[in-house]
Structure 1
Amino acid sequence: MKLNKTLIATGVFAASLFAGNVSAAVSAEEAAKLGNSLTPIGAEKAGNGDEIPAWDGGLTSIPAGYKGDGIYVDPFKDEQPLFIIDQSNVDQYKERLSPGQVAMIKKYDSYRMPVYKTHRTSAYPDEIMNQTVQNATKVELVAGGNGMENYQEATPFPIPNNGLEAIWNHITRYRGGSVSRNVGQVTPTADGSFSVVTFQDELTWRPFLTDYEPGMDPNVLFYFKQAITGPSRLAGNVLLVHETINQVEEPRRAWVYNSGQRRVRRAPQVAYDGPGTASDGLRTSDNFDMYNGAPDRYEWELVGKKEMYIPYNSYKLTDRSLSYDDIVQAGHINQDLTRYELHRVWHVRATLKPGERHIYAQRDFYIDEDSWQAAVIDHYDGRGEMWRVAEAHGMFFYDQKVPWYAIETLTDLLSGRYLALGLTNQENNPYTFGIERASRDYTPSALRRAAGR
């Protein structure tokens, strides 16, 4: 299929680092829509009359049976699909699908999309939503869109004026402040055989460091550490990232600890289309979290908003009664365990700039309006052919008021292989929010200590 042709200091530091505005904040009159006709983070509050309900604050009650242990109970476990999209009827629904989703259905007889009743569960803590409202009239893109001025935290551009602002909303979205998780990643062969690579990830946003002081490391959004815990041939390798805001002015700081060599070294390849960790060549560094990193190699177009069937409320994929064998199949995950709902999404198109290099010549993003999470991304190669299709099977961590992903999948339509990241069914302590970390825990010298635990 061919393509169609958190805190940043203001003042002296910001002025020198991020010179040259490229977009202005919205007017006070426009921002007044937030919390009225729009939700506090910029989604349309009203429904569409029958299929999409009005947003009423998200999922505000914790389902019975949840023990607060990071193992999430499905609040919709008794619901049945309204209908199923497959090869027999895909043309009937293609206006509400991405070209990549259509390509998946047409390629695989077994690829089906069970569509359920729509629930607008997503929300954020009150302080995050309140800060988002304030951001609307203050935050601006600067330095050609590679940095932000007056940004503190939360969603920077709840009423986006362009595609780049929408992408920054995805990149900066709140994920709980400071969290650790134990997850699995698989890269099945074409016949469905696989082995699991397990990771222990930590993510701490700068203001959540226990020793944080205003002005500390002002060009950093968050700190990320990823230790491979299995299999034994890879266990002990650790990646450390200081995620800078303006990565053109100051490239992402990344280091790796190699347990075999017992040494720490810089890792400049952990960016753009550098290979993803233990991914067997099936994802790039910037495919992680659906999309991350510096946006400077692409032109970003805000195509518009549309109604679309996207993975949503995907609690079934985290069910502890399931093994990875139940989920991982040849060609794609077990689609009978997925859940799709009709939601409004922002369509953003990224086109590679002339003279820039990346294995993806174009990427089409479909970003959920209620969470600013990328839900589906279609990737095209240099010939303009559909290549890879990413889907984020989102869920709402209701005790933390954090929308995030149950599983991310990235399917290579050419090779017939795919990657699934975020599996937790067989992992202990899958998610722990509110971990306490200091800046010393995210230094290169801390990598050896982390590897030895």
Structure 2
Amino acid sequence: MLKQQFKQWGAVAALSILAGTAHSAVSEAEAAKLGSELTPIGAIKEAQGNIPAWTGGLDATAGTADKNGRLSDPFANDKPQFVITAANYKEYAANLTDGQKAMFEKYPDTYKMPVYETRRTAAYPQAVYDETKKNATQTTLLNDGNGISNFTFGVPFPFPQTGVEVIWNHITRYRGGSISRVVGQVTPQVNGDFTLVRFKDEFTFRNELKDYSESKDDNVLFYFKQDVLSPARLAGNVLLVHETLDQVKEPRKAWVYNAGQRRVRRAPQVAYDGPGTASDGLRTADNFDMYNGSPDRYDWKLEGKQEIYMPYNSYKLKDPDLKYDEIIKAGHINQDLTRYELHRVWKVTATLKDGQRHVYAKRVFYIDEDTWQATEIDHYDGRGELWRVAESHNVMYYNRQLPWYAIEVLYDLNSGRYLALGLDNEEATGYQYDFDRGYADYTPAALRRGGVR
């Protein structure tokens, strides 16, 4: 059944690809399927294959949120249905990515995937659903797919016809409007030893600014600021990014405040395969948030849909009673704390264009149809060898009606090391929302004024 469905989806994708990069704006009649035949953001709504029906996702009363924004686990009593290990993973190969298979081969004694009941928990605010329906009839691709127009927020392409449109759905997905978080990043040695780097991140999407104007910075998607809080040798450095919608027309604008020099400098390296902040060479700039930035260096092929075991409803990894050394282990995170479920994904293959440069010659994306979040990405080097395996452990922030990640990890199969980003178990508070920011808060001058040393 699954193979037949995959062939059908693949055939539809192939026909779409022949149409080139034409935009995905659809008729009003087609858009009316959102919320009726389809979920409000474009996923299959009814039960199909091995995936149950979507019935609205988790509502705000699914659990409790304490005063610090910490969520209870609505599925704390769930037990694994079975566990995939190196001994039996070939029995489940049809529903595993090549990266997941490689992890079983690399760590046969410790890597496992506890598989739980599939729960389609994704939900967004009604305003996101309303905007998505508008986008379906008016949002278009620009500049050979490297930008989009007629878009403010929501899902730009709920009826994607090309791979790059699926990628835009990931890049632009709703993450709460304005968010502040303190999170940790680690790059463990082969034996599991690590030093924690702590960041204070702020995201503010353009339409959430208190002095929002449609005409001001109309090519900006969101503003991002990242302060390094520790360790002491890095503390005080600050990154500021204006993320543009068309980065070929207007490249991402980025600045860095260097605490040692007390200077603000432009930072063109914060893009593509430039080094990730404090990553010890284990991630590129565009590995942040699984994938970000301009899609112009790749050709994007839409492969269709597939059912994959993915990290989902990963509330255990957000438990404030956990210490980081209980999560971070040699080779990979503590897989006993993970939860995998069978979900339907969009598969997209990105191949480096002739004449373009990037350390990743190919990437294979598996993007959750219920959230448009990239959840598994396999990265290949210039020799065509599988090099790095990215995995995001999805969680539904039901108190805010938005999906995001508990943590994201990037495994380096060659070095035996990995990077984990988003740890907040030992922090005093969870994610904070609805703070006021204006244009003046995201200028190089503000970056200079905010320097702490």
**Larger deviation, residues 433-442 vs 219-228:** 433-442
Partner of 1:450: 450
Using the alignment, how far apart are the partners of 2:148 and 2:206 within structure 1? 16
Mapping for residues 132-281 of structure 1, pairs under 5 Å: 132-281=132-281
**Counterpart AA for 1:88:** A
Contact 1:68–1:399 (CA<8 Å) still a contact in 2? no
Deviations 1:165-199 (A, max 9, x none): 00000000000000100000000011110010000
Using the alignment, how far apart are the partners of 1:233 and 1:417 within structure 2? 22
Partner of 1:113: 113
Contact 1:22–1:142 (CA<8 Å) still a contact in 2? no
Using the alignment, how far apart are the partners of 1:449 and 1:405 within structure 2? 32
Q: Using the TM superposition, give the Cα deviation of residue 447 of structure 1 relative to its aligned residue in structure 2, in angstroms.
A: 1.3
Using the alignment, how far apart are the partners of 1:259 and 1:375 within structure 2? 35
Partner of 1:124: 124
Contact 2:68–2:428 (CA<8 Å) still a contact in 1? no
Using the alignment, how far apart are the partners of 1:430 and 1:72 within structure 2? 9
Aligned to 1:106, the other structure's residue is in SS state helix
Q: Runs ≥4 in structure 1, deviation > 6 angstroms?
A: none
Aligned to 1:168, the other structure's residue is in SS state helix
Aligned to 1:136, the other structure's residue is in SS state helix
Partner of 1:298: 298
Partner of 2:83: 84
Q: Using the TM superposition, give the Cα deviation of residue 26 of structure 1 relative to its aligned residue in structure 2, in angstroms.
A: 2.0
Using the alignment, how far apart are the partners of 1:44 and 1:261 within structure 2? 53
**So what's the TM-score if we normalise by structure 1?**
0.94
**Counterpart AA for 1:98:** T
RMSD between aligned residues: 1.3
Aligned to 1:44, the other structure's residue is in SS state coil
Contact 2:311–2:338 (CA<8 Å) still a contact in 1? yes
Mapping for residues 90-105 of structure 1, pairs under 5 Å: 90-105=89-104
Partner of 1:406: 406
**Counterpart AA for 2:168:** W
Partner of 2:364: 364
Using the alignment, how far apart are the partners of 2:215 and 2:67 within structure 1? 34
**Counterpart AA for 2:80:** P
**Counterpart AA for 1:80:** K
Q: Using the TM superposition, give the Cα deviation of residue 64 of structure 1 relative to its aligned residue in structure 2, in angstroms.
A: 4.4
Aligned to 2:138, the other structure's residue is in SS state coil
Mapping for residues 331-342 of structure 1, pairs under 5 Å: 331-342=331-342
Indicate the percent of aligned positions where both proteins have the same amino acid: 62
Using the alignment, how far apart are the partners of 1:232 and 1:24 within structure 2? 49
Partner of 1:48: 48
**Counterpart AA for 2:131:** Q
Aligned to 2:35, the other structure's residue is in SS state coil
How many residue pairs match? The answer is 433
Partner of 1:307: 307
**Counterpart AA for 1:233:** R
**Counterpart AA for 1:303:** E
Q: Using the TM superposition, give the Cα deviation of residue 213 of structure 1 relative to its aligned residue in structure 2, in angstroms.
A: 1.9
Q: Using the TM superposition, give the Cα deviation of residue 244 of structure 1 relative to its aligned residue in structure 2, in angstroms.
A: 0.7
Q: Using the TM superposition, give the Cα deviation of residue 37 of structure 1 relative to its aligned residue in structure 2, in angstroms.
A: 1.5
Contact 2:24–2:136 (CA<8 Å) still a contact in 1? no
**Larger deviation, residues 23-32 vs 232-241:** 23-32
Contact 1:21–1:140 (CA<8 Å) still a contact in 2? no
Partner of 1:287: 287
**Counterpart AA for 1:226:** Q
Using the alignment, how far apart are the partners of 2:430 and 2:419 within structure 1? 19
* Ranges in structure 1 where 5+ consecutive residues have no aligned partner: 1-19
**Counterpart AA for 2:259:** S
Contact 1:22–1:143 (CA<8 Å) still a contact in 2? no
Contact 2:262–2:451 (CA<8 Å) still a contact in 1? no
Mapping for residues 383-402 of structure 1, pairs under 5 Å: 383-402=383-402
Using the alignment, how far apart are the partners of 1:204 and 1:137 within structure 2? 26
Q: Using the TM superposition, give the Cα deviation of residue 21 of structure 1 relative to its aligned residue in structure 2, in angstroms.
A: 7.7
**Larger deviation, residues 356-365 vs 135-144:** 135-144
Q: Using the TM superposition, give the Cα deviation of residue 34 of structure 1 relative to its aligned residue in structure 2, in angstroms.
A: 1.3
**So what's the TM-score if we normalise by structure 2?**
0.94
**Counterpart AA for 1:151:** F
Distance change in 2, residues 1:24/1:308 (3 Å): closer
